[in-house]
């Protein structure tokens, strides 16, 4: 406790004074002392302008008599997932899942196995797979995440997450959640914020692990969503089938649109890492009272990856963060999180 | 306090004993006494099988060691709106709003004023208006709730709700919320349930008053929803425009589909009043652990209305409750709330 009060280096006489002071105050204000002892809610963040900005935002938003006070019911914070809350390289996790599912897909629909792009995926030719166009990937995703009940899908994703490993980190994908961001989510919730994931990835896919990994329940996951169709199973039991028809494309302008559909309020805090998050940040920034908009910049090739305006991978297939977005952030006062310098550690498994 | 403990009619001697008992126990167990004093969470309900079933459901669902315990995160309760939480006669409130808005609609889009069904509405011919087909009403609704920003829509609805009066009760529509159902919502929330409105009416329309009237925030309103389109205002400010394109028809099978889209969990309690709620109740009933499915039966022409299998209005344009639904409820153990006998009072304004 004393170490955290900044009094470690005082002499013996001062220490006695401190002990007396503690004894005197402890009975009067034990709670205040307790708070001071656990005072850093963001231990995985280095001290710096970004950490300071987060602390300052929460302070201003929750200061009841302050000019920028945000009433509890309006404390909505929205976070992109891929590249913002976990690793998105070398490919969005949901896409990796869908590529892995192609074998199972063609077992149920054999006519697909000789058709592009399924044939390419089944060939195992990594170079050809890496060159698939986005509309081919969309076809694969659509086939892999439809045609079953929502329960069957949930079970398949759970099983995959338990066994699949990231090619570089050799760990389950869910281990690759960014510890500093988990701390931000906790810190916001501890201050009355409702935290949401707002992702271009599939809503049902993300709901499988969001509660366990981020403490975000299914009803607070907004994502790209296909239609479901209500029907009945063999024993007449009611079921929801996942249909191959896109209902909500939760990217770019689709993010504020999805936020309106599912949440119905404008967020006061939003965080992303790419052009797909631009409109969400812009929409958030246009509200009144306290606001916080942030973008994660991947500039740490050693601990994670470096792409976007930082350096490396200019033709990255994920997380497009053009110079124009960086400039817009500077101009509008959106905070850029520099992974390399802002984060003391990236993952929970780091020492 | 004493009145509620059932001791009002005791004699003077017994009263003294009660006072002594209160004085003795007050210091030992003030909290238990407080609970006992306010022990009826459903004061607007008559004692009977329905009230007992609600109390029993909450007891079973929250009994931690019980076989049907529902963990807090799974305590999702969904309620239809029209005819379940407020009056739907003689017409759904949103439709009344849209008919009232036709004059404003044709001011902005003058070409509509000579076209059916707008011409009929503008004629003021009540008989002709009452005969409009559902697809005509859909056209009116679509025109009245699109073509403006979500903020402008919210302001228009607020203003209308403040001034419009129900033709029979001569009161604001929001006064016509059923007090017994408000008590059920409160009681469920006090026991860790998240309460949702799941309505065929427009999501954005209902969000305007749901928090104030029912304590249900915008993000817990699932309703029929049109698309919104992200764009910019004259000063470049980001805006969401309401488009005339239906995204979610939250009726019948659309209710469990909408629940999956917005909530992503199966409810353990659901309440409706018509065929449009059948699938929601069926879907809810197919889950495990404690379940409660209820249907409000309008059998009270004196205090409210009588329609459905009860009597009266067989060709009612709202709240279709056919005999087959009544029979299904009996067969499946869904509780039928008999407004006439189950409710001590219907509205908060009753004495």
Q: What is the DSSP letter of B177?
A: B
pLDDT in tens, A86-104: 999 999 999 999 999 999 9
| Contacts with A221 from chain B: Cβ below 8 Å | 264
Q: Cβ separation of A227 and B257 shorter than 8 Å? A: yes
Is residue B344 within 8 A of residue B300, CB to CB? The reply is no
Q: Find the CB nearest B247 among A230, A247, A264.
A: A247
Q: How many CB atoms lie within 10 A of CB A59?
A: 13
**pLDDT above 70 for B14:** no
Question: Which pLDDT band holds residue A201 (cuts at 50, 70, 90)?
Answer: very high
pLDDT at residue B36 tops 60: no
B121 vs B136: CA distance, rounded Å: 10
Q: Average pLDDT of B62-89?
A: 97
Q: Rounded to whole angstroms, how far apart are CA atoms B339 and B342?
A: 5
pLDDT number for residue B105: 93
Residue A242 contacts residue A204 (beta carbons within 8 Å): yes
- Asked if pLDDT for residue B219 goes beyond 90, the answer is yes
Pick B230's closest partner by Cβ from A150, A253, A265.
Answer: A253
Describe the crossing of helices A278-285 and A254-262 by its angle, rounded to 10 degrees.
60
Q: How high is the pLDDT of residue B315?
A: 56
3-class state of residue B337 by DSSP: strand
What pLDDT shows up at residue A316?
61
Contacts of A280 (CB under 8 A, 6+ apart): A78, A80, A198, A255, A256, A259, A267, A270, A272
pLDDT exceeds 80 at position A18 = no
The pLDDT confidence band at residue A6, using thresholds 50, 70 and 90, is very low
Q: Put the strands of the sheet holding A194-202 in their side by side order.
A: A238-248, A221-232, A194-202, A76-79, A269-272, A292-297, A335-338
pLDDT over threshold 70, residue A156 = yes
**Lowest mean pLDDT, pick from A60-64, A147-151, B30-34:** B30-34
* Percent of chain A residues topping a pLDDT of 90: 81
Q: What is the pLDDT of residue A322?
A: 87
Burial state string for B98-115 with b = 16 or more CB within 10 A and e = fewer than 16: bbebbeebbeeeeebeee
- pLDDT score recorded for residue B319: 73
Q: Under a CB-based contact definition with an 8 Å cutoff, are residues A102 and A144 in contact?
A: yes
* Closest to A296 in 3D by CA, of A333, A259, A326, A332: A326
Closest CA to A220 of A29, A99, A81, A349: A81
Q: Is the pLDDT of residue B1 over 50?
A: no
Region of A39 please: left (phi>0), alpha (psi -120 to 50) or beta.
alpha
Mean pLDDT of A144-165: 97
Report which DSSP code applies to B218: G
Give the model's confidence band at B311: pLDDT under 50 very low, under 70 low, under 90 confident, else very high. low
Angstrom distances, CA of residue A270 to CA of A31, A54, A68, A259, A335:
31, 12, 17, 11, 10
Name the residue of chain A whose CA is nearest to B240's CA.
Answer: A257
What average pLDDT does the segment A154-174 reach?
98
Q: What is the mean pLDDT of chain A?
A: 89
What is the pLDDT at residue B78?
98
CA distance A348 to chain B (A): 25
pLDDT digits (tens, 9 = 90+) for B48-67: 999 999 999 999 999 999 99
* Mean pLDDT value of segment A120-147: 92
8 Å CB contact between B205 and B164: no
| Torsion sign (Cα): B224, B227, B231, B235 | negative
Helix axes A93-108, A134-144, angle to 10 degrees: 60
pLDDT given at position A211: 98
Residues of B with CB under 8 A from a CB of A: 73, 76, 150, 194, 203-204, 207, 211, 217-219, 221, 225, 227-230, 237-238, 240, 247-248, 253-254, 256-257, 260-265, 279, 282-283, 286
Set of chain A residues whose Cβ sits within 8 Å of the Cβ of B263: 218-219
Res. B304: pLDDT tops 90: yes
DSSP B40: -
Higher pLDDT, B13 or A178: A178
Confidence class of residue A318 from pLDDT cuts 50, 70 and 90? Answer: confident
Residue A7 pLDDT level (bands cut at 50, 70, 90)? very low
Between B30-37 and B12-26, two packed helices, what is the crossing angle to 10 degrees? 130
| For chain B, percent of residues with pLDDT exceeding 90 | 81
- Averaged pLDDT for residues A324-351: 95
* CA–CA separation, A241 and B257 (whole Å): 9
Q: Which of A188-192, B29-33, B217-221, B347-351 has the weakest average pLDDT?
A: B29-33
pLDDT at position B22, please? 41
Query: Is residue B41 over pLDDT 70?
Result: yes
Here the tokens at position A342 are 């802002």
Encode chain A in three state secondary structure. CCHHHCCCCCCHHHHHHHHHHHHHHHCCCHHHHHHHHCCCCCCCECCCHHHHHHHHHHHHHHCCCCCCCCCHHHCEEEECCECCCECCCCCCHHHHHHHHHHHHHHHHCHHHHHCCCHHHHHHCCHHHHHCCCHHHHHHHHHHHCCCCEHHHHHHHHHHHHHHCCCCCCCCCHHHHEEHHHHHHHHHHHHCCCEEEEEEEEEHHHHHHHHHHHHCCCHHHEEEEEEEEEEEECCCCCEEEEEEEEEEECCCCCHHHHHHHHHCCCCCCEEEECCHHHHHHHHHHHCCCCCCEEEEEECECCCCCCECCCCCCCCCCCCCCCCHHHHHHHHHHCCEEEEHHHHECCCECCCC
Q: How confident is the model at residue B318 (pLDDT cuts 50, 70, 90)?
A: confident
Measured CA to CA, the distance from residue B200 to residue A56 in angstroms comes to: 43
Q: What are phi and psi of A272, to 5 degrees?
A: -145, -165
Partners of residue B242 on adjacent β-strands: B228
Averaged over B182-198, what is the pLDDT? 98
B139-184: pLDDT as tens digits: 999 999 999 999 999 999 999 999 999 999 999 999 999 999 999 9
- Across the interface, whether the CB atoms of A228 and B283 are under 8 A apart is answered no
DSSP structure class, residue B260:
H
Name the pLDDT band for A37 (thresholds 50, 70, 90).
very low
B76 contacts in A (CB within 8 Å)? 219
Give the number of C-alpha atoms closer than 13 A to the C-alpha of residue A335, restricted to the C-beta side. 21
Q: With contact defined as beta carbons under 8 Å apart, do B93 and B100 qualify? A: no
Taking CB atoms and an 8 Å cutoff, what residues of chain A touch B258? none
How far lies A7's CA from each of A3, A15, A31, A41, A43, in Å? 6, 8, 19, 20, 20
Q: What is the ipTM of this complex?
A: 0.88
Q: Is B168 helix (H, G, I), strand (E, B) or coil?
A: coil
- Which of A247, A254, A264 lies nearest to residue B218, judging by beta carbons? A264
The chain-wide mean pLDDT, for chain B, equals: 89
Q: Which of A64-78, B85-99, B124-138, B310-324 has the lowest mean pLDDT?
A: B310-324
pTM greater than 0.90 (yes/no): no
Confidence at A158, pLDDT banded by 50, 70, 90: very high
Q: In chain A, what is the straight-line distance between the N-terminal and C-terminal CA atoms, in Å?
A: 23
Of B135, B179, B242, residue with least CA distance to B45? B179
């Amino acid at each position: 406790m004393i170490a955290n009060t900044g009094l470690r280096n005082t002499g013996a006489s001062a220490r006695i004074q401190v002990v007396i002071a503690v004894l005197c105050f402890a009975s009067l204000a034990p709670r205040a002392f307790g708070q001071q002892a656990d005072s850093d809610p963001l231990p995985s963040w280095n001290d710096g302008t970004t950490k300071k900005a987060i602390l300052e935002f929460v302070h201003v938003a929750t200061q009841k008599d302050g000019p920028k006070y945000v009433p509890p019911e309006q404390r909505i914070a929205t976070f992109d997932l891929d590249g913002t809350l976990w690793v998105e390289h070398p490919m969005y996790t949901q896409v990796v899942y869908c590529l892995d599912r192609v074998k199972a897909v063609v077992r149920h629909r054999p006519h697909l196995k000789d058709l592009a792009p399924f044939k390419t995926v089944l060939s195992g030719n990594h170079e050809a797979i890496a060159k698939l166009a986005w509309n081919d990937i969309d076809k694969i995703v659509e086939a892999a995440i439809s045609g079953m009940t929502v329960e069957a899908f949930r079970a398949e994703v759970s099983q995959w997450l338990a066994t699949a490993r990231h090619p570089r980190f050799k760990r389950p994908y869910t281990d690759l959640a960014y510890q500093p961001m988990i701390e931000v989510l906790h810190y916001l919730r501890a201050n009355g914020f409702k935290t949401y994931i707002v992702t271009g990835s599939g809503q049902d896919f993300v709901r499988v692990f969001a509660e366990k990994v981020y403490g975000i329940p299914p009803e607070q996951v907004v994502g790209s969503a296909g239609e479901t169709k209500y029907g009945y199973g063999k024993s007449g039991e009611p079921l929801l089938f996942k249909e191959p028809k896109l209902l909500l494309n939760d990217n770019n302008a689709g993010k504020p649109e999805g936020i309106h559909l599912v949440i119905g309020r404008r967020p006061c805090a939003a965080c992303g890492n790419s052009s797909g998050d631009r409109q969400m940040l812009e929409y958030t920034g246009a509200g009144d009272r306290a606001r916080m908009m942030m973008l994660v910049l991947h500039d740490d090739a050693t601990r994670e990856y470096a792409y976007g305006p930082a350096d490396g991978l200019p033709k990255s297939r994920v997380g497009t963060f053009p110079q124009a977005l960086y400039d817009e952030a500077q101009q509008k006062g959106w905070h850029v999180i520099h992974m390399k310098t802002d984060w003391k550690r990236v993952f929970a498994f780091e020492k």
